[in-house]
Amino acid sequence: MIDKILLETIDKASERIVKDLIGIRRDLHQIPELGTDLPKTREYILKELRMLDVEIKENVGENGIVATLYGGHKGKTIAYRADMDALPLKEANSFDFASRHEGRMHACGHDGHVTIALGILKILADIKNDIKGNIKFIFQPAEETTGGALNMINDGALQNPDVDYILGCHIWPSLASGKIGLRKGPIMAGTDIVDITIEGKGGHGAIPHKTINPIVVGSKIVNEVEGIKNYFVPSSQNSVISFGSFKAGETNNVIPQSARLLGSVRTFSKETQSIYISKLTDIIKSVETVYGVKCELNYRTNYPPTINDEQVVEKIETALMELGLQDKIFQIDEPSMGAEDYSYFLQNVPGAYMFIGSRNEEKGVVQEIHHPNYDMDEAIFETIPGIFSKLILEFLF
């Protein structure tokens, strides 16, 4: 258990930096950037880091940043990860700190994720001489696009010093503001990309019998795919397959030569993933035979499922209860079908991913992530950085 005086010091530091953290979040919200191309975001974070006594590695895994706070005593190393990138979305909010970058928006809360990480670092930097062990802060690019986690891992983000545990969070508008969503085992799905090209035979819309219409074939594929989950995936296994793009043709009276389908598969196990790959392959072969088309299935495995270490989650629950914060705990019954490349970190070291509630109906903060009116309840910066600072120390002491 952490020393009482140290806990009081954390509380005072947490109270002192609230206005600063809200300012940081609003500054970041105005400069959303995409993928690994994050010059202004990185510059802002590095400016904050250089004011603190931390070791900084500026270009880990293509523009990632790792800042290590070394404690005054030798011990274990715990990492905390925050993603930095935004979404290609036009913001509809009218507040004075709305996005200044046209067509880009922090609609997934990553500005808040960075703010929480910087808040934890500011709090713990004040007491570094009392800390036994080290804390690595991993600022990751490209979570929304190509996935920056694996590049950072391959470039040594979890080494020198080697990480024993890792924690991270996602601000979650489905939960009441300030709640900490916990779940043992799977908390977010793995996601794969389905890319199907259909090569038919174009022609005049008035003589369809002399063509092979790829739109018809694509429609048949979509209809057949709907049956995979119902008939081949065990009912005990959560999974989703959905198509978000169907591109073919340009006008009403010309049957196009080709079509393309894009979709995603979300699963929690390799067994379920294999079923989708197998059945998609069977469906493609069958429509080729029936309609005389040429189809190509490009199935790209993407992020694996995010699976929390059960012992780490138990330790978090115990620590929160010992700190008198049991009212902050929210048990998540069903995992989210959303996906996160934080999963790669959990494949390398024990850790947990948590959901931080930010829903506040009185303030009108109710929109889900990836919405042009998305916002977060900034009251979370009054409590979450301090609570997470205490949790991190529980893993080191």
Q: Kindly tell me if the per-residue pLDDT of 306 is higher than 90.
A: yes
Q: Kindly tell me if the per-residue pLDDT of 208 is higher than 90.
A: yes
- Of 9-18, 227-236, 378-387, give the lowest mean pLDDT range: 227-236
Residues 145, 136 contacting (CB under 8 angstroms): no
- Beta-strand runs (E) in 33-128: 55-60, 64-70, 73-83
List the structure tokens of 364: 């009108």
Please, what is the average pLDDT of the chain? 97
Asked if the domains at 4-183+332-396 and 190-303 fall in one CATH topology, the answer is no
Place of tokens 């004011």: 51
Instruction: State the amino acid at position 349 in one-letter form.
Output: V
Specify the CATH number for 190-303; select among 3.30.565.10, 3.40.109.10, 3.40.50.2300, 3.30.70.360: 3.30.70.360
Task: Write down the number of H helices and E strands in the chain.
Answer: 10, 16
Residue 263's pLDDT is what? 97
Which of 97, 155, 173 has its CA nearest to residue 367? Answer: 173
Three-class SS state of 183: coil
Angle between helices 39-49 and 110-125 (to 10 degrees): 10
Q: Kindly tell me if the per-residue pLDDT of 191 is higher than 90.
A: yes
Q: What is the 3-state secondary structure (H, E, C) of 200-267?
A: CECEECCCHHHCECHHHHHHHHHHHHHHHHHHCCCCCCCCEEEEEEEEECCCCCEECCEEEEEEEEEE
Predicted confidence band of residue 144 (pLDDT cuts 50, 70, 90) = very high
Q: Please check whether the domain covering 4-183+332-396 is classified as CATH 3.40.630.10.
A: yes
Active site residue 378: yes
Residue 2's pLDDT is what? 87
Residue 397's pLDDT is what? 86
Task: Name the catalytic one among 165, 276, 303, 374.
Answer: 303
Q: What is the mean pLDDT of residues 261-285?
A: 97
* DSSP letter assigned to residue 184: S
- Beta-strand runs (E) in 47-127: 55-60, 64-70, 73-83
Q: What is the mean pLDDT of residues 121-140?
A: 97
Residue 1's pLDDT is what? 72
Residue 174's pLDDT is what? 96
Task: Name the catalytic one among 33, 91, 378, 394.
Answer: 378
Active site residue 303: yes
Q: What is the mean pLDDT of residues 139-165?
A: 97
Residue 3's pLDDT is what? 87
**Domain ranges (residues) in the chain:** 4-183+332-396, 190-303
Residue 180 CA neighbour count, 13 Å, CB half? 24
First to last CA, the chain: 7
State what percent of residues in the chain have pLDDT above 70: 100
- 308-334 confidence digits (pLDDT tens): 999 999 999 999 999 999 999 999 999
